[in-house]
């Protein structure tokens, strides 16, 4: 009798274990770890350098992005070779599907902070009288006032993650341009276009 009970218990366990194994959630084979960037980006101009490249993350149901870029300006165009590090935040409230493979994001706004290394006479003490330059010559805080993006939707990953290839533009300005334009009365001689920057770039999701 005891042997019969052990036999029945063994058969029951053998039938239950495969079911439990099937119910155990399995992560998709191509799922990204949380620390891996969602996309790579290459941009020209826009106050970030003649050319800038970096990576970024997407969140809030793909409506927001955070990016880190490293830009470069040759000595020929700046008097010294410049390296510009930028952290950027973008928000896109909605997107429109043009076809199964094309979508457009007509409105993007955001902000950024950048630091420029190797500016001419950088931090040379005593060169100017106190208060001559009240603003930072290295750090800029900017706003992206208007942007847009057109994306081609490549085949999705097995996990359902999108893989867009996008071209975009960003129209913005920064703290130095704004303070030079308004408080100093330069709005009488400058057009608003003179304080705007235009950046163009490409993003690729993976």
With pLDDT > 70 as the criterion, what percentage of the chain qualifies? 74
Model confidence pLDDT, tens digit, residues 118-153? 887 665 666 667 766 777 889 999 999 999 999 999
Model confidence pLDDT, tens digit, residues 66-77? 999 999 999 999
Domains contained in the chain, CATH given: 32-205 (2.40.160)
> 2 vs 107, which has greater pLDDT?
107
How much is the average pLDDT of 59-71? 95
Cross-strand partners of 43: 52, 201
CB atoms within 10 A of CB 86: 23
Cα–Cα distance measured from residue 181 to residue 128, given in angstroms and rounded to the nearest whole number: 22
**Going by C-beta distance under 8 Å and a sequence separation of 6 or more, which residues neighbour residue 68?**
54, 55, 56, 85, 86, 87, 88
The answer to whether 114 and 48 have CB atoms below 8 angstroms apart is yes
């Amino acid at each position: 009798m005891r042997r019969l009970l052990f036999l029945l218990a063994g058969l029951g366990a053998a039938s239950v274990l495969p079911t439990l194994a099937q119910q155990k959630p399995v992560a998709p084979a191509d799922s990204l770890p949380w620390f891996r960037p969602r996309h790579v980006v290459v941009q020209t101009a826009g106050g970030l350098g003649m050319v800038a490249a970096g990576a970024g993350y997407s969140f809030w149901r793909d409506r927001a992005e955070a990016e880190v870029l490293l830009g470069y300006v040759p000595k020929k165009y700046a008097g010294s070779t410049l390296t510009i590090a930028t952290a950027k935040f973008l928000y896109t409230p909605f997107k429109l599907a043009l076809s199964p493979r094309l979508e457009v994001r007509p409105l993007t706004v955001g902000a950024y902070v950048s630091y420029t290394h190797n500016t001419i006479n950088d931090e040379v003490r005593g060169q100017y009288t106190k208060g001559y330059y009240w603003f930072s010559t290295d750090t800029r805080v900017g706003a992206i006032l208007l942007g847009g993006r057109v994306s081609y939707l490549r085949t999705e990953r097995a996990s359902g993650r999108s893989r867009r290839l996008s071209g975009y533009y960003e129209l913005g300005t920064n703290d130095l341009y704004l303070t030079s334009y308004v408080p100093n009365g330069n709005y009488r001689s400058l057009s608003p276009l003179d304080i705007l920057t235009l950046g163009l770039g490409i993003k690729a999701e993976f």
